[in-house]
């Protein structure tokens, strides 16, 4: 959630208002919504002022009534005045609460302010490549797509998953299931042992407030699976429960950063994505992911953002997968992010780079919504900055391995770093 007090300030030079207005334009939002928001907030303040004024009058009247009672004077007239004043205050309080609700609801629909280093652009075509690591492998044959390879090996079964559940689900069988499990273990081991994250196994179901806390609701309410008759929803990523671990709490400055690595299944309805990536496991309703979450001191958040990105990159390097890092432009960046790097892995079957991780700095956007703060010695509580990134998306890593390590006979070489987790198996065949 953005800081409405900062929006109202009019400092010399480029004010927060003007900078945020440009962010909205870059994100393809109508900037006129800011004028509507500030007008609503002025209305809210007006009702609050009137409530406070009438309460002061009520307090004074109460003192007069007490005096009249003590002196035995007639009470009818002043009693009627007190009743009218009480009714007026109740009406003003209702108007104040309504204005407060409208301001809050409007704030919930506004995206985060982009960091000054985010490139301005209208679509993913204007994302900026930061670096490219590794060169795509040359094949002596025409490389196949992962779903062809997986079905031929008998490790992916889409037809039977469609029978059991429906479209965009898959059975992982035999070495396919083992490969998925091996990747989860490798990633958790690297992130906990080498990068210092605390491993966490969070709930796979969260309530609406937790979704609001990370900026998933209300914008993406139709993108998740809801449990009928409850306020529970299947998580689309471990970001939802893990970031909210410290919701409504104040941490000690010395305890920062707080860092967690969590494996979870992820569930996404992805309404509006019909027709996209209908074959294979690029876009599934259910998939596995290892998520990295960091709660950090505001002064260090961009340094920490680079570190988080490097941690996700380490997995791609270990698996010898060619990839690139791109900085998302204003028209492609996520709703809650202030800055985001996408890691895109090369897929020879498709002949394109595809996203395998998004590493985002949310600054205090999520912390304001979830009310996560820290206190330094003798200081006032401040909001932490939150960061997260996939470390990595497991299904897409399977895709990348099948396509990059495929051989002409249909077998697939297992990356060396993964072999200890595969019981020494070096080839899928």
**103 and 133, same structural domain?**
no
Overall pTM > 0.75: yes
Give me the mean pLDDT over the 70-84 stretch.
70
Tens-digit pLDDT profile for residues 122-149: 999 999 999 999 999 999 999 999 999 9
**128 and 166, same structural domain?**
yes
In a domain? residue 117: no
Instruction: Give yes or no for a contact between 33 and 23, defined as CB atoms under 8 angstroms apart.
Output: no
**Is 355 an annotated catalytic residue?**
yes
**Is 268 an annotated catalytic residue?**
yes
In a domain? residue 42: yes
Name the percent of the chain lying above pLDDT 90.
Answer: 83
**Is 396 an annotated catalytic residue?**
yes
Catalytic-labelled residue, pool 358, 360, 363, 390? 358
Distance CA 311, CA 333 (A): 21
* Count of domains for the chain: 2
Instruction: Give yes or no for a contact between 342 and 357, defined as CB atoms under 8 angstroms apart.
Output: yes
Catalytic-labelled residue, pool 301, 336, 396, 403? 396
CA distances from 78 to 68, 83, 89, 156 (A): 9, 9, 16, 82
Catalytic-labelled residue, pool 44, 168, 268, 294? 268
Confidence label for 377 from pLDDT (cuts 50, 70 and 90): confident
Average pLDDT, the chain: 93
Instruction: Give yes or no for a contact between 14 and 22, defined as CB atoms under 8 angstroms apart.
Output: no
Domain boundary (108, 141, 157) is at 108
Entry field: residues in the chain: 429
Q: State residue 277's pLDDT score.
A: 65
**Is 151 an annotated catalytic residue?**
no
**131 and 100, same structural domain?**
no
In a domain? residue 113: no
**268 and 163, same structural domain?**
yes
Q: Is the pLDDT of residue 271 over 70?
A: no
Confidence label for 57 from pLDDT (cuts 50, 70 and 90): confident
Pairing, β 352-361 against β 339-347 = antiparallel
Catalytic-labelled residue, pool 8, 97, 199, 355? 355
**Is 358 an annotated catalytic residue?**
yes
Is pLDDT larger for residue 118 or for residue 12?
118
Name which of 270, 266, 285 is nearest 205 in CA terms.
266
Q: Count other Cβ atoms within 10 Å, centred on residue 247.
A: 17
The region of weakest confidence among 41-50, 259-268, 382-391 is 41-50
Q: Which residue's entry shows tokens 């009928």?
A: 228
* Range(s) of the domain holding residue 322: 124-428
Tens-digit pLDDT profile for residues 83-99: 888 889 999 999 999 99
Q: Is the pLDDT of residue 272 over 70?
A: no
Q: Is the pLDDT of residue 100 over 90?
A: yes
**204 and 137, same structural domain?**
yes
**356 and 277, same structural domain?**
yes
Output DSSP code: residue 226.
B
CA atoms in the 13 A half-sphere facing the CB of 187? 30
**417 and 273, same structural domain?**
yes
**279 and 208, same structural domain?**
yes
Pairing, β 205-207 against β 156-157 = unpaired
Catalytic-labelled residue, pool 102, 178, 181, 283? 283
């Amino acid at each position: 959630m953005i800081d409405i007090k900062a929006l109202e300030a009019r400092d010399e030079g480029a004010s927060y208002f003007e900078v945020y207005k440009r962010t909205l334009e870059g994100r393809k939002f109508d900037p006129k919504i800011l004028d509507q928001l500030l007008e609503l907030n002025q209305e809210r303040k007006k009702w609050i002022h009137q409530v406070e004024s009438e309460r002061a009058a009520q307090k004074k009247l109460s003192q007069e009534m007490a005096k009249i009672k003590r002196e035995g004077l007639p009470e009818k007239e002043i009693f009627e005045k007190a009743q009218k004043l009480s009714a007026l205050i109740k009406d003003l309080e209702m108007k104040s609460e309504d204005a407060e609700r409208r301001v809050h609801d409007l704030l919930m629909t506004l995206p985060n302010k982009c960091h000054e280093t985010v490139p301005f652009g209208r679509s993913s075509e204007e994302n900026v490549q930061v670096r490219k690591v590794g060169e795509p492998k040359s094949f002596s044959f025409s490389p196949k797509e992962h779903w062809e390879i997986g079905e031929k090996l008998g490790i992916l079964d889409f037809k039977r998953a469609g029978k059991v559940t429906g479209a965009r689900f898959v059975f992982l069988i035999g070495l396919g299931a083992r490969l998925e499990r091996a990747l989860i273990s490798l990633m958790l081991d690297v992130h906990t042992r080498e990068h210092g994250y605390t491993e966490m196994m969070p709930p796979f179901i969260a309530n609406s407030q937790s979704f609001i806390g990370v900026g998933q609701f209300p914008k993406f309410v139709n993108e998740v699976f809801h449990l009928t008759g409850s306020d529970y929803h299947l998580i689309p990523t471990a970001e939802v429960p893990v970031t909210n671990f410290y919701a409504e709490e104040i941490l000690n400055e010395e305890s920062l950063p707080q860092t967690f690595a969590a494996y979870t299944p992820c569930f996404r309805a992805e309404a509006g994505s019909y027709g996209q990536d209908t074959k294979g496991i690029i876009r599934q309703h259910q998939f596995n992911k290892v998520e990295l979450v960091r709660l950090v001191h505001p002064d260090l958040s961009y340094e920490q953002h680079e570190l988080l990105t490097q941690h996700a990159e380490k997995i791609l390097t270990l698996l010898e997968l060619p990839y690139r890092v791109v900085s998302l432009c204003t028209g492609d960046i996520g709703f809650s992010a202030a800055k985001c790097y996408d890691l895109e892995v090369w897929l020879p079957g498709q002949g394109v780079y595809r996203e395998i991780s998004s590493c985002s700095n949310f600054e205090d956007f999520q912390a304001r919504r979830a009310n996560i703060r820290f206190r330094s010695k003798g200081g006032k509580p401040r909001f932490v900055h939150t960061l997260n990134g996939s470390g990595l998306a497991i299904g897409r890593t399977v895709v990348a391995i099948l396509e990059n390590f495929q051989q002409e006979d249909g077998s697939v070489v297992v990356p060396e770093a993964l072999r200890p987790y595969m019981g020494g198996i070096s080839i899928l065949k």
